[in-house]
Amino acid sequence: MTTASARLVIDLDLPGPRISRHLYGHFAEHLGRCIYGGFWVGEESEIPNVRGIRLDVVEALRELRIPNLRWPGGCFADEYHWRDGIGPRDQRPRMVNTNWGDVVEDNSFGTHEFMELCELLGADPYVNGNVGSGAVREMSEWVEYLTRGGESPMASLRRANGRDEPWRVPFWGIGNEAWGCGGNMRAEAYADLARQYATFLRDHGDNRLYRVAAGASDDDYRWTETMMKSVGCVGCGDGPKDIFQGLSFHYYTIPGPWEDKGDATRFTLDDYYATMVKARHVEELIRGHAAVMDVYDPAKTIGLVLDEWGTWWNVEEGTNPGFLYQQNTLRDALVASVHFDAFHRHADRLTMANIAQTVNVLQAMILTDADSGALVLTPSYHVFRMNVGHHDAASLRVHVDAPSWVRPVAAGNLDLVSASASTRSSADGDTALVSISNLDAERALPVLLDLRGRVVSGARARILTADSIDAHNTAAAPDAVVVRDHPVLFEPGPFGTELRVDLPPHSYVTVELDMT
């Protein structure tokens, strides 16, 4: 079972569906140290901040060009009452965060703080409303408070709290995980609620809401079908329109049993390969949910939204089990790269995705030290940064010819080569970006890029890898896994330009192409 190389055939002159930048969205829940100690340190903190928002976190995330940020949950969303988080901070009521650690939430980070965070990041807000323990009026008034100009009760309340002009809020979640922590509902019961809530989530002024209904867990295609039936055949003339514009599902990469998910940094080779099998399974789930949606929405007017994804390991020793704090290795970075390739291939239906979560929780971009205030960029952060060139670019089909680069593992056969590509035009010229993952932890992978349809005048490659698959960054060793330049060689080809790129074991490479 060996092969001399892998060949990737790419027709650069045949662009496909646009890869929405919102596939690179993020998620910030009131969970552990994601908000408090992550984004928010308070105005009195010695850590540099902008009105309480941690400045170095913002600066690091701006490098990723975060397109949207989902808040306040997650499970927390369905016990959050937004009026508790407005007005003078010292007068805001407290609550208990029963989902995550049973800790007291003082509501010092609320609506105005979140909207300022989004403005600092340059990200669109994705607000998740409370269906599980809230009310239709409560959610409707939150939309009014945020987005309505002119005179109205909620607009006046917003002005009394210091904000004259309305905000732009494009994305709105109608509850979260209604099948579980969001209410333990049946699909039929939630479908009726989603229709009711969506009716009263008004578009105020020129703000247009993209309403996202809470969808399935993993492969619950029946939930997706129930939701699609609830809006009728979109575009067929026999169903109500504009009930919701997006339908979500959630999928976490968990190779072990729920009770013992495995360690983030101490794992075997078999554990690694089992993780990659689970990561690649996301594409089967996207296909499955998309196939159900196609029956009722053949024009693809409703987007599929994967607004929670990522790895989930046992928490780090000595931390609160309810805070979901885990380290982040090169293995996690390759999980992300595999997901992005799948997202790109299904950009015609998948419109948004949100990594769980941005800071200090699950597969985080950033880890902060509670005592020293140190900031660490994780391997997953670097994968996001390497993919910025795919944002809003046109997808390109990649044919992977590596028939023997497959490894049988206990969880199923694993294709060890993952790749995707995109192209864009700008005033500076036409470019393409090719992403390639070598998931083989033991063998190097020589790759030949067979580039057709355009003349390639230049190429640059960057690589993310390390000596071992469990390598990770810490405050003491922040550069154990970082991005470096990588050589790429031009070779003559019978159909166009051929480039050779050698990938070490367990590595991720992007190749940027200049075209004439």
Q: pLDDT tens-digit profile of 397-413?
A: 999 998 778 888 877 78
Tell me: the pLDDT tens digits for 221-235?
A: 999 999 999 987 665
For residue 243, count other CB atoms closer than 10 A to its CB: 22
Helix (H, G, I), strand (E, B) or coil at 431: strand
- Of residues 466, 461, 464, 465, the one with CA closest to residue 449: 461
- Of residues 329, 447, 430, 319, the one with CA closest to residue 381: 329
How many residues are recorded in the chain?
516
3-state secondary structure labels for all residues of 474-498: CCCCCCCCCEEEECCEEEECCCCEE
Q: Six-digit token pair at 239? A: 């169903």
Catalytic (active-site) positions: 177, 308
Cα(first)–Cα(last) distance of the chain, in Å? 39
Lowest mean pLDDT among 73-77, 131-135, 193-197, 497-501: 497-501
Report, as an integer, the average pLDDT of 317-343. 97
Tell me: the pLDDT tens digits for 8-33?
A: 999 999 999 999 999 999 999 999 99
**β-strands 6-11, 398-401 pairing:** antiparallel
Q: Angle 123-482-389 (CA atoms, 0-180°, nearest 5)?
A: 40
**For residue 205, what is the enclosing H or E element?**
none
Name 129's Cβ contacts closer than 8 Å, sequence gap at least 6. 77, 139, 142, 172, 173, 174, 175, 197, 201
Q: Which string of DSSP letters, residue by residue, matches 82-99?
A: GGGGSS-GGGPPPEEETT
CA atoms within 13 A on the CB side of 114: 28
Tell me: the pLDDT tens digits for 443-485?
A: 999 999 999 999 999 999 999 999 999 999 999 999 999 999 9
Asked if CATH classification 2.60.40.1180 holds for the domain at 6-12+394-515, the reply, yes or no, is yes
Delimit the CATH 3.20.20.80 region(s) of the chain.
Answer: 21-390
Q: How far apart are CA 358 and CA 381, in angstroms?
A: 9
In the block, tokens 């970006």 appear at 433
* Residue 264 Cα distances to 9, 47, 267, 278, angstroms: 35, 28, 7, 15
Q: Six-digit token pair at 206? A: 């020129």
- Of residues 493, 281, 376, 272, the one with CA closest to residue 38: 376
Tell me: the pLDDT tens digits for 268-290?
A: 999 999 999 999 999 999 999 99
Rounded to the nearest integer, the mean pLDDT of the chain is 94
Tell me: the pLDDT tens digits for 233-253?
A: 665 555 445 689 999 999 999
In the block, tokens 């393409």 appear at 432
Using the predicted structure, report yes or no on whether residue 492 has a pLDDT greater than 80: no
Delimit the CATH 2.60.40.1180 region(s) of the chain.
Answer: 6-12+394-515
Tell me: the pLDDT tens digits for 120-170?
A: 999 999 999 999 999 999 999 999 999 999 999 999 999 999 999 999 999
pLDDT of residue 405: 83
Cα 126 to chain centroid distance, Å, stands at: 12
Tell me: the pLDDT tens digits for 64-90?
A: 999 999 999 999 999 999 999 999 999
Domain 21-390: give its CATH code.
3.20.20.80
pLDDT of residue 233: 63
